[in-house]
Amino acid sequence: MSHSTAEAPQGDLSALISEHSGGEGPLLPILHAIQAAYGHIPQAAIPVIADALNLTKAEVHGVVTFYHDFREKPAGRHVIKLCRAEACQSVGGAELGERVLARLGLDWGGTTANGAVTVEPVYCLGLCACGPAAMVDGKVVGRVDDARMAKILTEAGA
Amino acid sequence: MKIYIPRDAAAKALGADEVASAVATEAAKRGLDVQIIRNGTRGMIWLEPLVEVDDARGRHAFGPVAPADVPALLDGKLESLGAVEDIPFFARQTRLTFARCGLIDPLSLSDYEAHGGLAGLRRALGMAPGEIVAEVTASGLRGRGGAGFPTGIKWKTVAEATADRKYIVCNADEGDSGTFADRMIMEGDPFTLIEGMAIAGVGTGATKGYVYIRSEYPDAIAVMEAAIRIARVSGLLGASVLGSGHPFDMEVRVGAGAYVCGEETSLLNSLEGKRGIVRAKPPLPALEGLFGKPTVVNNVLSLATVPVIFEKGAAHYAGFGLGRSKGTMPIQIAGNVKHGGLFETAFGMPLSDLVIDIAGGTASGRPVKAVQVGGPLGAYIPVSQFDTPFGYEEFDQKGGLIGHAGIVVFDDTADMLKMARFAMAFCAVESCGKCTPCRIGSVRGVETIDRIAAGDPAATVILTDLCDTMRDGSLCALGGFTPFPVMSALRHFPDDFARRKEAAE
Ligand SMILES: Cc1cc2nc3c(=O)[nH]c(=O)nc-3n(C[C@H](O)[C@H](O)[C@H](O)COP(=O)(O)O)c2cc1C
Ligand code: SF4
pLDDT in tens, B74-122: 999 999 999 999 999 999 999 999 999 999 999 999 999 999 999 999 9
Coil, strand or helix at B35: strand
Contact list in B for residue A141 (CB cut-off 8 A) is: 13
Cβ of A33 under 8 Å from any chain B Cβ? no
Would you say residue B351 has pLDDT above 70? yes
Mean per-residue pLDDT, B193-216: 98
The C-alpha angle B149, B228, B123, rounded to 5 degrees, equals 60
Report the nearest atom of ligand 2 relative to the CA of B430.
3
Cβ of A53 under 8 Å from any chain B Cβ? yes
Beta strands B380-382 and B406-411 are unpaired
Omega before residue B330 within 30° of 0, cis? no
pLDDT of residue A12: 85
Contact list in B for residue A130 (CB cut-off 8 A) is: 10, 13-14, 45-46, 48, 340
- The domain limits of chain B are 2-91, 109-318, 324-411, 416-504
Which CATH number among 3.30.390.30, 3.30.70.1020, 3.40.50.11540, 3.40.50.300 corresponds to the domain B109-318?
A: 3.40.50.11540
The helix or strand, by DSSP H or E, that contains position B410, with its residue range, turns out to be strand B406-411
Contact list in A for residue B89 (CB cut-off 8 A) is: none
Confidence band of B400 (pLDDT split at 50, 70, 90): confident
pLDDT in tens, B159-197: 999 999 999 999 999 999 999 999 999 999 999 999 999
Would you say residue B310 has pLDDT above 50? yes
Q: How far is B277 from chain A (nearest CA, A)?
A: 9
Mean per-residue pLDDT, B219-227: 98
CA distance B276 to B457: 38
- The domain limits of chain A are 10-66, 78-156
Threshold 0.80, pTM exceeds: yes
Taking CA atoms only, the protein residue closest to ligand 2 atom 6 is B435
pLDDT of residue B56: 87
Q: What is the ipTM of this complex?
A: 0.94
Would you say residue A3 has pLDDT above 80? no
Would you say residue A101 has pLDDT above 60? yes
Name the residue among A53, A62, A130 with its Cβ closest to that of B45: A130
User: Which ligand places an atom closest to the C-alpha of B279?
Assistant: 2
Taking CA atoms only, the protein residue closest to ligand 2 atom 4 is B476
Task: List the single residue in A with minimal CA-CA distance to B48.
Answer: A130
pLDDT in tens, B377-398: 999 999 999 999 999 999 999 8
pLDDT of residue B398: 86
Mean pLDDT value across chain B: 96
pLDDT of residue B500: 59
pLDDT of residue B499: 59
User: Which ligand places an atom closest to the C-alpha of B169?
Assistant: 1
User: The domain A78-156 belongs to what CATH superfamily?
Assistant: Glutaredoxin (3.40.30.10)
Cβ pairs A/B, distance under 8 A: 153
Mean per-residue pLDDT, A85-106: 97
pLDDT in tens, B236-272: 999 999 999 999 999 999 999 999 999 999 999 999 9
- Please give the CATH topology (third level) of the domain spanning B416-504: de novo design (two linked rop proteins) (1.20.1440)
CA distance B331 to B342: 6
Confidence band of A10 (pLDDT split at 50, 70, 90): low
- Cβ separation A85–B10 shorter than 8 A: no
Would you say residue B312 has pLDDT above 60? yes
Would you say residue A9 has pLDDT above 80? no
- Please give the CATH topology (third level) of the domain spanning B324-411: Ubiquitin-like (UB roll) (3.10.20)
The CATH code for residues B2-91 is 3.40.30.10
pLDDT in tens, B324-334: 999 999 999 99
Contact list in B for residue A129 (CB cut-off 8 A) is: 10, 45-46, 180, 332-335, 337, 340-341
- Cβ separation A126–B335 shorter than 8 A: no
Q: Considering all CA atoms of chain A, what is the largest pairwise distance in Å, rounded to the nearest integer?
A: 51
CA distance A123 to B257: 8
CA distance B14 to B18: 9
Q: How far is B170 from chain A (nearest CA, A)?
A: 16
Give ligand 2 pocket residues (Cβ under 6 A): B 260, 278, 431-435, 438-439, 474-476, 478-480
pLDDT of residue A62: 97
- Cβ separation A126–B179 shorter than 8 A: yes
H-state helical runs in B118-189: 119-125, 129-139, 151-160, 181-188
**Using an 8 Å Cβ cutoff, are B179 and B404 in contact?**
yes
**Using an 8 Å Cβ cutoff, are B403 and B374 in contact?**
yes
Would you say residue B296 has pLDDT above 80? yes
Asked whether B174 lines ligand 1 (CB < 6 A), one says: yes
